[in-house]
Amino acid sequence: MKRTIIFILPILFLISCQQKTEQKTSETQVENSIEEVKEPKEFICTDYNFKSVQEQADSLSFYMNKAIKSDSSTLPIWEHKFFCAFPNSFSAMESLFGYVDDLGSAPLYSTENPSQKYLDNKIFSDAIGFFSELKSIPPELYYKKYTRINIYGYWQADNIQGAFGFHFKLLNDTENVCKALSKFDDNEIKSVFRFIFDGPHPKNEYNEEIYNELKPLLYKKNERLGKLWTISYDNLMSEDDGHGH
């Protein structure tokens, strides 16, 4: 009988150790799983390869409407899709939102000024306004695209104007915008700044107010950007003869 007890005790000890090990492993897996959920996934844009401008326009409208109707849990998903489907260049913005005399209006053409709508804090129903209000996109990627759509942009008598409200971002999120801008070359940056002021009569009180308000902020954050801001403004003002384009 004693031999049997002595034989069983090591077995029970081994079983107990195994159970503790399994329990500890299980707890570790749960902890790791929780950490995985907490850690944000890397933001990667899908390459949509739209077959036409109309298909891109339809997709943007679809994603925007889904986002507007979604709750806080699904909003980032639709904002993500919308952002990735949004243009990456000024020429692509023209194709979607502009007006060409020979071809007529683009699929998402509008005569409303997106800069003014942003200023008035209205609820946006158009894609440009919705883009300017995206909240869930990493700042570095967001402002990189926001910059790209303004490079070599120029005023047109539709909603291709005011650098699509870019100067409001400079005012309200100066540090993040400057970080993104500083990665572009001087000519690209000057073209973005010029587009902010461009118009039929750029020498006006509204532009002067924008220039004076942003000048000290830019010089403080990045002297290079501050100098390019001044050069862009001065060059455009020197070209304005009072007769427009």
The 10s digit of each residue's pLDDT in 165-190 is: 999 999 999 999 999 999 999 999 99
Place of tokens 């973005």: 192
CB-CB contact of 67 with 130 (8 Å):
yes
Q: What is the pLDDT of residue 92?
A: 96
If we measure between CA atoms, which residue out of 51, 56, 53, 156 comes closest to residue 98? 156
Residue 100, helix vs strand vs coil:
strand
Phi/psi of residue 106, each to 5°?
-75, 165
What single-letter DSSP state applies at residue 163? G
Instruction: Print burial letters for 137-157: b (CB count within 10 Å at least 16), e (below 16).
Output: beeeebbbbbbbbbbebebbe
Q: Which structure tokens are listed for 110?
A: 């509008």
Q: Which structure tokens are listed for 31?
A: 């902890």
What gap in Å lies between CA 237 and CA 109, rounded to an integer? 29
pLDDT (tens place) for every residue of the chain, 245 residues total? 545 444 444 444 444 555 544 444 433 333 333 333 333 467 889 788 999 999 999 999 999 999 999 999 999 999 999 999 999 999 999 999 998 777 788 999 875 554 444 444 333 448 999 999 999 999 999 999 999 999 999 999 888 999 999 999 999 999 999 999 999 999 999 999 999 999 999 999 999 999 999 999 999 999 999 999 999 999 999 997 544 44
Q: What is the pLDDT of residue 126?
A: 87
Question: What's the alpha-carbon Rg for the chain, to the nearest Å?
Answer: 27
Q: What is the pLDDT of residue 157?
A: 84
What gap in Å lies between CA 37 and CA 14, rounded to an integer? 35
Residue 105, helix vs strand vs coil:
strand
What gap in Å lies between CA 1 and CA 66, rounded to an integer? 75
C-alpha neighbours within 13 Å on the C-beta side of residue 11: 5
- ∠155-144-61 over CA atoms, to 5°? 70
Q: What is the pLDDT of residue 151?
A: 98
What gap in Å lies between CA 179 and CA 52, rounded to an integer? 33
Q: What is the pLDDT of residue 47?
A: 82
Q: What is the pLDDT of residue 79?
A: 97
If we measure between CA atoms, which residue out of 152, 176, 44, 180 comes closest to residue 93? 152
